[in-house]
Amino acid sequence: MRKCAGISLVEMMIAITIIAVLASVAVPSYRSVTTRNRISSEIGALMGDFQYARSESVRQGLTVVVCTIADPNANPPTCGASSSWQNGWIVFSDVGGSGAYDPTKGDVLLRQQQPFAGGAVSDTVVATPSISSVSFNREGFSAVANAESFAFHDYQNTPNYSRCISLSVVGFLALATPGTAGCV
C-alpha cells in the first residue's frame, strides 16, 4: 500500500473555516483601532496648533490666530467663514490686527494644516458655538466669549469614537468625551 502525502479536502475546509472565523473577529477590531488612532491624530493636530498659537502669542507679544482655510489649495491661504475645521486651518501672527491672514500687512504664516484625509467622507469637527477662528492675545488668553467646544466625529458619526476639545477663555485646553460638560 502506498501512503499519500498532503492534506485531504476535509482538512483543508476545516482550516479555511478556522481562518474565516478568526478574520471575522479581527477585522472589526482592526477597524476600531485605526479609527480611534485617526481621530486621536486629528485631535492632536488641532490641540497642538492651539497650544502652539497660545505659546507663540505670549512669546511674540502679539495676537496669534488659528482659523479655518477657505481654499486649501490657495497660495497664500486665506481664512474661511465656514466652521468646517476638517477642511484644514492655518496659524498666523496677526501683525496687521485684522483677524484675517493678510501677508501684505505683515502677517506671518506659522503653520498650515491640510484637510483631513478621505475627501467627501472624512471625519468632521463641529465647533459649538459655530466659529471659524480663535485668536490668542499677547497674554495667551483666547478671544472666545464662553468656553468653546470642538467635537470630533468619525465619518460614520459613531458615538464611541467621538471626542471633544474644550477651549476656555483663559486658553486652557481639555479633552472630553460626549456626554460630559461642553461635549456634544
* Per-residue model confidence as pLDDT tens for the chain (184 residues): 567 677 888 888 999 999 888 888 777 777 778 888 888 888 889 999 999 999 999 999 999 999 999 888 888 888 888 888 888 899 999 998 888 898 889 999 999 998 887 655 678 887 877 888 899 999 988 887 777 888 888 877 777 788 888 888 888 888 887 777 666 6
Neighbours of 41 (CB within 10 A): 11
Total number of domains constituting the chain: 1
Would you give the DSSP letter of residue 115?
A: P
Residue 2 in any domain: the answer is no
CATH number, residue 139 = 3.55.40.10
pLDDT score, position 91: 95
Q: How far apart are CA 156 and CA 56, in angstroms?
A: 35
Distance (Å) of CA 26 to CA 10, 22, 29, 75, 155: 24, 6, 5, 44, 21
Residue 1 in any domain: the answer is no
